[in-house]
Structures are given as C-alpha cells and as structure tokens.
Amino acid sequence: MLNRVPDTQLSVRRITVDEHRDHLASRPDASFLQLPAWARVKREWRPEYVGFFAGDELVGSAQVLHRPLPVLKRTLAYIPEGPVVDFTSNTTAEVTRPLLAHLKAGGAFLVRMGVPGVRAEWRAADVRKALSGKKKESDAPTPELMTGLDAVFADEQAAFVAAELKAAGWTKPDVSEDFAAGQPEFQARIPLRTLEGEALDVDGVLAGMNQNARRETRKAASGPLEVQVGGVDDVERFHALYRETAERDGFTGRPASYFTTMYNELNAHAPGTCTLYFAVHEGRDLASAIRVQSGEGSWYVYGASSSQERKLFAPKALIHRMIEDSLAAGCAYLDHGGVSPTLSRDHHLAGLTLFKTTLGCDVVQTLGEWDYRLNKPLAKAFEIYMKAREKK
C-alpha cells in the first residue's frame, strides 16, 4: 500500500525565477530541462515559473514553457521533466488540479507535462541478448517490446502515478516502436552507480559495455588521440564536424548560433553545466561532443564525427572522458538520449537501440509525457495539425 499525506491542500501561484532556481538547487534529481537557462535557449517559448505551496511553504516548482497559437490568445503549456514536486507525499490530483486551474486562467488550451520518474529499467546485456537473436532452444520467445522483458528495476509508485493521471483524464500515447514528438519515453543511460546507489569506478562502468565496445573504448582512451575541452570560441570547430555528420547521415542540423546560445546560457547558470569536447589527432578534429550536467544527471546531448581515421575510435575516446568527468561530478548516469522499445530486429530503430546498449546503456522507461485538454476543440485541432506535420 502506498503512503499518502491525506487532505493535503496545495495551492499554485507564480514565483520568481530566483525562487524556482533555489528550489531546483534542493533537488539534485531535477533535469536540466527545468533550468531557467534552458528557457533562454528555447527562445521561441515564453517561460513562466509556478510554485506549489502547502500553506506558506514552497514544496514544489515548475518551469512552464508557453507556445502561443497564431492570432488566438491561447498557448500550449509545456512542462518538460516537471513539475519538480514530491508525488509520493501528495496525490496526483492534489498536484495537478491547482496547476490546471492556474494555467487555464492564464490562457492555456493544452497542457503537456513530462512527469519526472522512472517506471522500469532493463540491463544493457539483457536488451542486447534479446535483439541479437542468439537464443537457446530452452529460452522463452522474445517479446515484441522491451516491456515484455523482465526488468531489473520496477517502481510501483511511478506505475501508480501513471494510473492516477489516466483516471484523472490525462492522456498519453500507448507504448510505440516509433518516436513521437517530445521527449522519448524510453531513454538509454549508462549507469554510474549500482542499483544500491554505490558509485562505480571507470572499469565498473565499462564492464557494462559489450566486449568490442569496451576494447575499442580503452584503446581510444590510451591511444594517440588528445581529448580537449573547448570554449565558446570553439563552437565553430564543433559545428564543422556537426555539418559533416548531418550531410553524411541525412538530417537537418541546427545553426551554429544555437550551440553558442546553449553554451553561453547554460554556463551562465553555473560554470561546467555545458562542456564541449574534441578528440584530436595530429592537429585534426576527428570527433566532438556536447555534455550537459545538472545535479546528479549527465547528458550526452550532441555528437559529431569525421569519416577519417575511423580505426582510432575517436567518439569512444570522448565517451570515456565523459564517463570520467560525470563520475568526478558525482552523477548517477550518463544519458545517451531516446531509444525505441522495439525488440524486433527488423525494425528501422532496432539498430540504434542495439548500438547504445553495446556502449553499456541500460534502458529506462520514464513516466513519459501526458496531455490534458483544457479547450477540447482547440486541442483537437492542434493534434490534427501536429500529426499532419509529422507525416511530411
């Protein structure tokens, strides 16, 4: 039976950016997406800061990003990885009802909330095995989705919060093999601590990789490459490799100005929040990466590489350095972004999941992003528009 504090009457009202920042400082588990500095990176959104109060005590906060509809004075209210509030001490309704009332009064037609928390976790080796197709006759059939595998960790509280949200009228897409708009529900994370919370050393972290990745990472870290840490004046160096990667892999990249803003704003929040790495051989940049760190979390947010000197494994030299730096900062994980939960080897995203798990990334299922329609006609029209946009 899950314990709740009965009849907790929370109220929600605006707070200052400093009050929100101070609250985040008391919550090392909070995501960098809740940092006010991140709102200054996403300049097309208007930030609002709200506090959750039990009487006069601030017990939670949220950075809400508003995206206005053209012409109409209505906004999509997006709360990435928030609100930062203890869902174990309050029912989901006690948190969300005053929040929805506040946002509706402010003109929001739809609220999208990326509730923090992990529902389940699967070890990298188990996912690799399921995707490899290498099975004994005595093994059970491979399920279609990750959720059919035995998890190494499952959180009853997180599952209960999800059930409460659904009962209260919040909606989220069913688990899908493909990515949807927003933050992926399934994330690949290199664990830097044991399940009991004890910090690993570098060798303990590398033990989660498969044999080839571990060998290549060690070779890259001890070979002729020099790993450099750059500054804002080196963003153009990163962007040159990033453009090459975008052309090679066929995606549309961001302009250099975006990364300059990211570097400046995040490090204005706290020096070292955003770090720019280069793997250099004989004066030539072979790989580059951007890592963001906040509280106990570390995120590998962007990477780029040259097609030259592949046998030096330059990207893995950067991963090795990011692991070292994340451990030194006391982080719990190094996040490598989203993956598909598919276990079908024929699916077009299966290769990405397999690649990240060879690097030692466990797969965690988060609570995901939930929607609440405050104005149902406008919300429905917006959803139709977004689906049509995704098909283009």
Average pLDDT of the residues in 222-229: 95
Angle between helices 350-358 and 124-132 (to 10 degrees): 140
- pLDDT averaged over every residue in the chain: 92
pLDDT at position 159, please? Answer: 92
pLDDT tens, position by position, 339-380: 999 999 888 899 999 999 999 999 999 999 999 999 988 888
Q: What is the pLDDT of residue 174?
A: 78
Q: By three-state DSSP, how is residue 86 classified?
A: coil
CA 206 to CA 225: how far, in whole Å? Answer: 19
Q: Is the pLDDT of residue 220 over 90?
A: yes
The confidence score (pLDDT) of residue 6 equals 47
Percent of the chain with pLDDT over 70: 93
pLDDT level of residue 135 (50, 70, 90 thresholds): low
Give the mean model confidence (pLDDT) for residues 118-147.
Answer: 83
Question: For residue range 171-187, what is the model confidence (pLDDT) as tens digits?
Answer: 997 777 666 667 899 99
Q: CATH assignment of 10-116+369-391, given 3.30.70.1450, 3.30.70.100, 3.40.630.30, 3.30.560.10?
A: 3.40.630.30
At 37, which amino acid appears?
A
What pLDDT is stored for residue 179 in this prediction? 66
User: Looking at the predicted structure, is the pLDDT value of residue 38 above 60?
Assistant: yes
Ranges 138-152, 233-247, 267-281, 283-297: which has the least confidence = 138-152
Instruction: Please check the confidence at residue 311 and state whether its pLDDT lies above 70.
Output: yes
Confidence of residue 287 (pLDDT cuts 50, 70, 90): very high
Nearest to 319 by CA among 227, 207, 236: 227
Kindly report the length of the chain: 392
Type and span of the H or E element at 96: helix 92-105
Q: Is the pLDDT of residue 133 over 80?
A: no
For position 204, what pLDDT does the model report?
A: 97
Phi-psi label, residue 299: left if phi above 0, alpha if psi -120 to 50, beta otherwise:
beta
Euclidean distance between CA atoms 55 and 62, whole angstroms: 18
Mention every residue, 6+ apart, whose C-beta is less than 8 A from residue 274. 262, 263, 266, 267, 290, 291, 292
**Residue extents of the structural domains in the chain:** 10-116+369-391, 119-366
pLDDT, tens only, 57-114: 999 999 999 998 876 789 999 999 999 999 888 889 999 999 999 999 999 999 999 9
* Inter-CA distances, 358 with 81, 135, 171, 188, Å: 27, 18, 34, 11
Question: What pLDDT sits at residue 173?
Answer: 79
Q: Does the fold of domain 119-366 match that of domain 10-116+369-391?
A: yes
Tell whether domain 119-366 is in CATH 3.40.630.30: yes
Q: What are phi and psi of 169, to 5 degrees?
A: 100, 5
Least confident residue range of 17-26, 63-72, 137-146: 137-146
